[in-house]
Amino acid sequence: MVFVGKPPNNLGVKNGKLALCPNSPNCVSSQSADATHKIAPLSFTSTPEQAITNLKKIIHSLPRTKIITESKDYLYIKFKSALLGFVDDVEFYLDRNAKVIQVRSASRLGESDLGVNRQRIETIRAKLK
């Protein structure tokens, strides 16, 4: 059985912001104000271009990932869980002014993700260093 769900229609960067997280706890965002959803943006010490290149290498090294949309300052990736095929939508926005990569990771279905979205971003953060 595969639990794909419908792709969200609110993804992308609008006025320097990624979409807000829903009220459910299965989403994290570096631009969220509340503690349930808040996660630190990804930092980098390289050039912005090298940071995006490094981020893409890390994403390609992770299982069951597919880059859906890519531009010089934005990545949208679909992650699929191994067991039941749950899909998470993950976005990265290179904020050149703040010199960080803003991130949003959200499950399409369900209420709780058992911390999977937060753990994924922290894994990527550790590999980006």
Q: Can you tell me the mean pLDDT for 25-49?
A: 95
The structure's pTM equals 0.93
Whole-angstrom Cα distance, residue 109 to residue 129? 31
Positive or negative, the Cα torsion across 110, 16, 77, 101?
negative
Q: How confident is the model at residue 2 (pLDDT cuts 50, 70, 90)?
A: low
Whole-angstrom Cα distance, residue 17 to residue 41? 12
Q: Which helix (H) or strand (E) holds 107?
A: strand 100-107
At 52-62, the pLDDT tens digits run 999 999 999 99
What is the full DSSP assignment across 47-99? Answer: -HHHHHHHHHHHHHHSTTEEEEEEETTEEEEEEE-TTT--EEEEEEEEETTTT
At 73-99, the pLDDT tens digits run 999 999 998 878 889 999 999 999 899
